[in-house]
Homo-oligomer: A and B are copies of this chain.
Amino acid sequence: MSATILDGKKIGEEIRLAVAAEVQGLLSSGYRAPKLVAVLVGENPASEVYVRSKTKTAAALGVDSATLRLPSTISTADLLEEIRQLDADEGVDGILVQLPLPSGIDTDRVLEEVDVAKDVDGFHPVNVGRLALGQPCLTPCTPAGIIEILVRSGVQIAGARACVIGRSRTVGRPVAALLLNRHATVTVCHSKTHEISSVTREADILVAAMGRAGFVKGEMIRAGATVIDVGINEVRDGRELERFYEGEELERKRGVIEQTGRTLVGDVEWRSALCVAGKITPVPGGVGPLTIAMLMRNVVDAYRRRCRV
């Protein structure tokens, strides 16, 4: 038996198309386009790539966007002032502060300065709190994407046992809250969990989000469970791949390394998980494509709530 592979690319595309249609509808009713501003501090190459990818997707969906580039030497106080200007700008609907910020900047303080109504990453404590309380809020994008994958793949959440491995602020904790709000029985595991296999094997829905390549092996998965792999780990050595893949998939991944010098693997050991899980997301092409799609969803939601359209 081999698991059904959940196609995040396809689901992400569906959401992007729906958002694009919604923006088109707003424009043809005479409204302005929603606008996202990405705040990019310093010159982290990965952050550059992420921000470019977000503004590119925005453009494709008819969402206006701009990138505010600030030097890595900026003080927390000056960065706060920049955020306040974006907060005050009526034409800006979503503000995204690309993380990580340079060391020396008080990240928590900066995230708290973003207008709660424009906080499209869902990182402001008020949005985090509303999420924890089960109230309407702007929801972090990756966790929201995980819920979309589950719902659109027909996975029953209410009454299911869900296990989240990892308790990060951006993924583990918020996805646990979302699953709980949708009536799953939710367990959060982490580095201090004893006998983790016995915990993960209880789960109908297993979310791997601790950032350790291939940590979740087949024997840690309940037969037929849905496995959501949030890990994004880089592999540059083709020989390392044998831990994760076999057969055709191994050859394909090796080919990717040969062509591009690197490939991505998840927190789940694909090879052994595939024979046990009922449904599983691949890396890449699973949760990843949902994150930007849900960001766009949040920008349009923030716009509609702010402008009441």
Contact = CB atoms under 8 A, between A and B. Distances in A.
Interface stretch (A80-88, A124-132, A224-232): A124-132
Contact of A199 (B126, B177, B180, B185): B185
Nearest to A133: B169
Contacts of A188: 180, 185-187
Contact of A186 (B133, B158, B187): B187
A208 to B, nearest CB: 15
A183 B161 CA distance: 20
A190 interface: yes
Q: Which of A183, A187, A202 has most B Cβ within 10 Å? A: A187
A6 to B, nearest CB: 23
Interface size class of A (residues with CB under 8 A): 20 to 34
A123 to B, nearest CB: 9
A200 to B, nearest CB: 11
A183 B173 contact: no
Given A186-B188, A202-B202, 14 more contacts: A125-B125, A126-B129, A128-B128, A129-B129, A132-B177, A158-B192, A159-B192, A159-B193, A159-B194, A167-B180, A185-B190, A185-B194, A185-B199, A187-B187
20 contacts: A125-B126, A125-B135, A126-B126, A126-B129, A127-B129, A128-B128, A128-B130, A128-B132, A129-B132, A131-B132, A132-B132, A133-B169, A133-B173, A158-B192, A159-B193, A183-B190, A185-B190, A185-B192, A185-B193, A187-B188
